[in-house]
Amino acid sequence: MASHRRPKQPSRTRVTVLTATAAAAVALTSQAAHADPKPTKSEVKAKVDKLYHEAEAATEKYNGAKEQQDKLKKQVDAIQDKVAREQADLNTLRRELGSIATAQYRSGGIDPSVQLFLASDPDSFLDQASALDQLTAKQAESLQKIKAKQRTLAQQRKEAQEKLGTLADVRESLGRNKQKFQSKLGEAQRLLNTLTAADRAKMAEGEQRASRAAGDRVDLGNEVPASALGAAALRAADTRVGMPYVRTATGPNSFDCSGLTQWAYAQAGVEITRTTFTQINRGTHIARSQLKPGDLVFFSNTSHVGLYAGNNTVLHAPYPGAYVRYESMSTIGSYQAAVRI
């Protein structure tokens, strides 16, 4: 007779292991099917360029906070110097008042009638009494001076305290923006690291080649600057073609975008502010159709600036890894505004 024993059931542990293995296999297969393909070199470059522009916006805010911090620090130092001088004057007045009080005590410690009785020379006593009246008047004057000094000191200390509070806020903003651009630059570097060393070298070589070519073959047309000042600034910036972009740098051998424009105008004899956000308010706003060589041109929500060079071309410091160069306005970013210094 054939055996009818029921087949042995697999253990619960074995079923669990098999189920987990199968699920993992399905998950891996699914992940493989849906995994994003590795970005190409051109895709990496596009993403990196975008991150560099975002880092530049944070850098300009950092530069602005740094400029404000430096100004506030000078103001606080000047106020604190005044406070120290006023305090020294106040201490001198207090010492003078103490001397007067001591003199009064010494000469007023005996009743005047007794002093007159004991005095060998009544005329001498009357002279002393007259001096005592003068001391009393001097004391009143000293008290008024002390009160005035105390009011001045209180006002100056309040002003210093307010400035220090603002300085603390600015330093906090400085730290946030520094962290932000460092984060963007770090993300860009991680993307670049997905490329081979050979590809990274080619990209760097391409940036250098593009900068050299821009300086050698750029066609600026025959546009005439609106002023000698603009022409001088543009000539100065032209001598920096090929210099590397370095965040927060203001020259003469490396620049960020607003550092270059500030340096160029300084060589022309005019001081302009440090950041794109303040440079845009420095001169006269003009329409794009009115651009002349030497004018400042702003892009990408005022986070980037360059000098108009003619023929729809700008001379600027682009972004990390690039060099000061001439470039078509159509490839830099979204046009924002133009200013003539």
Distance CA 275, CA 64 (A): 6
DSSP structure string for 189-205: HHHHTTS-HHHHHHHHH
The active-site residue out of 4, 34, 53, 257 is: 257
- Identify whether 316 is a catalytic site residue: yes
Copy the structure tokens of residue 299.
Answer: 């892009």
- Identify whether 304 is a catalytic site residue: yes
Distance CA 95, CA 264 (A): 56
Copy the structure tokens of residue 148.
Answer: 């005035």
The burial class, CB within 10 Å (0-12 / 13-18 / 19+), for 305 is buried
**Per DSSP, what are the bridge partners of residue 296?**
307, 339
The active-site residue out of 4, 53, 285, 304 is: 304
The active-site residue out of 34, 53, 285, 316 is: 316
Q: What are the angstrom distances between the C-alpha of 216 and each of 1, 33, 111, 326?
A: 101, 49, 101, 10
Q: Is 57 in contact with 301 (CB distance < 8 Å)?
A: yes
- Identify whether 4 is a catalytic site residue: no
Copy the structure tokens of residue 207.
Answer: 């940036």
Q: Is 325 in contact with 215 (CB distance < 8 Å)?
A: yes
Q: Which residues are annotated as catalytic?
A: 257, 304, 316
